[in-house]
Chains A and B, each alone.
Chain A
Amino acid sequence: MDSEKTHITEYRVYGQVLLVLLILTTITITVTWIDLAAWSVFIALLIASVKAGIVLTYFMHLKFDNSLYRVLVIMVLLIFALVILLTFFDYLLR
């Protein structure tokens, strides 16, 4: 069953996505040169998460696919976040 026309992403869009990813990578690296102590990890993870989100949305086509995939990905990420949370409850209360 193939009723809808499948979405074709233009080459140009992928090029723009790569550019954004490269810029974010540059930011990640330059931020490490600034001494932010405990904030460094947080910022590194934040930028990495943004990059991951961009890869998922555009390269992995989540933006243009059936919304089911977006729901599933978010659910799995929430489950993972829960696992992290529970683990740190254990670790921090030892």
Chain B
Amino acid sequence: MDHIEEHRDDEGAKLGMWVFIFTEILLFGGLFLVYAVMRASYSDDFHQAAHHLNAFIGTINTLVLLISSMTVAMSITAVQKKNNKLAIILLFITLICAGIFLVNKYFEWGHKFHIGLYPGSELMITLKHGTVLFFSLYFLMTGLHVFHLIVGAIILTIAMIKVKSGAINSEKYVLLENGGLYWHLVDLIWIFLFPLLYLIT
């Protein structure tokens, strides 16, 4: 008897990723809701506290994620067109973008830690309640976002390796599609985080 074709359900796999994305939307959505209520209660404190954030770095991060969403989407087109080499290059660029975002985040958070601005610090305890809430939300939401970004980068790295080995090809690329979907989710979250945290000055 010949090799038995594995059972595959690409549409099911994609649906599964979408269901997962829905749970993520509700997770971050819940946090945005907390932000909304807290901001309504402490609008002045939030407005002042936002001055501590670097809108320039935030803008660079936004641009970098938007570009990375384009490159990962293009990588799927490349695989569909049987151009695995181009797909690998595009995925590599996507990962570089992720890296740039992480480096920026490292400097952003590093600077804040350096001046004593972090949850539970001696400085934080002296600040107004609304300000403390702003920074708690800032660290929680950007931290959770960066965690998702790292997971997404790992998934796309695995996808890149599989494109190189041919395990992902024009007949079988649902893993790359799903990785791409997850990556776009990371981008979507940032699309809302950026204006709400950085641009309320």
The residues of A with any CB-CB pair to B shorter than 8 Å are 6, 8-11, 14-15, 17-18, 21-22, 25, 28-29, 32, 40-41, 44-45, 47-48, 51-52, 55-56, 58-61, 65-66, 68-69, 72-73, 76-77, 79-80, 83-84, 87-88, 91
Shortest CB distance A43–B (Å): 9
> Does A76 lie within 8 Å of B200, measured CB to CB?
no
B26 at the interface (CB under 8 A from A): yes
> Does B26 lie within 8 Å of A84, measured CB to CB?
no
Taking a contact as CB atoms closer than 8 A, the residue among A25, A59, A76 that contacts B62 in the complex is: A25
Q: How far is the CA of A66 from the CA of B12 in the complex (A)?
A: 12
Residues of B within 8 A of A22 (CB): 63, 66
11 extra A-B contacts, CB within 8 A, seeds A59-B73, A61-B73, A87-B37: A8-B77, A11-B74, A14-B73, A18-B66, A32-B199, A40-B200, A47-B195, A56-B188, A59-B184, A80-B26, A84-B29
B192 at the interface (CB under 8 A from A): yes
Contact count A vs B, C-beta below 8 Å? 104
Interface size on B, residues (CB 8 A): 41
B59 at the interface (CB under 8 A from A): yes
Taking a contact as CB atoms closer than 8 A, the residue among B70, B194, B196 that contacts A15 in the complex is: B70
> Does A18 lie within 8 Å of B67, measured CB to CB?
yes
Q: How far is the CA of A56 from the CA of B177 in the complex (A)?
A: 13
B40 at the interface (CB under 8 A from A): yes
Whether A17 touches B70, Cβ cut-off 8 Å, given contacts A48-B192, A55-B187, is yes
29 A-B pairs, CB-CB below 8 angstroms? Answer: A6-B80, A8-B80, A9-B73, A11-B74, A14-B70, A14-B73, A18-B66, A18-B69, A18-B70, A22-B63, A25-B62, A25-B63, A32-B200, A40-B200, A45-B192, A48-B194, A48-B195, A55-B184, A55-B188, A55-B191, A59-B73, A59-B180, A65-B14, A66-B11, A72-B18, A80-B29, A83-B30, A87-B33, A91-B40
